[in-house]
Amino acid sequence: MKVLLFYAPSFWFKTYQKVLEQVPDQDLEVEREKAVVVFYHVEAEDLERRGKVLSKFIKNIKWLAGKFDSRTVVLHSFNHLSSSKAPADFAGELVREAIERLERTGYSVTATPFGYLNEWKLHVAGESLAKVFKEI
């Protein structure tokens, strides 16, 4: 798994186009403030290390959220971080479990719709730590 994590004073997104036929139709426009925005890419290799990947994914999110005293998280599938791709159903289930675990520990989590292209505006804070890349 590859992740880009940002601390964003503001993040806005709107669904643009559905690209996976099997996902439900959605028309959303959402804005979040003081959020950790995570662009993630689930790789084929992650199938064999699911538990470790899930644990490190959540740990990295909580770590950055703690640095900025935030309990707001936005997850955005960004399949441009690697040429290796996990099956969509595996990636979707992994992220659903991450959302459940984060919410159980007091985080407010928003996920951009999986299987959609989205418009978005991302305002990233200036601190060096506000922009982090991790290979999990």
Does the pLDDT value for residue 89 go beyond 90? no
> Which token pair is 131?
């922009």
Does the pLDDT value for residue 23 go beyond 90? no
- The average pLDDT across 35-55 equals 97
Does the pLDDT value for residue 53 go beyond 90? yes
- The average pLDDT across 78-94 equals 90
Domains and CATH numbers, the chain: 2-135 (3.50.80.10)
Query: What contacts 24+ positions apart, CB below 8 Å, involve 87-90?
Result: 87/47, 88/20, 88/114, 88/115, 90/42, 90/46, 90/47
Q: Choose between 78 and 122: higher pLDDT.
A: 122
**CA 28 from centre of chain:** 17
Write down the pTM of the prediction.
Answer: 0.93
The percentage of residues in the chain with a pLDDT greater than 70, rounded to a whole number, is: 100
> Sorting pLDDT into bands at 50, 70 and 90, what band is 43?
very high
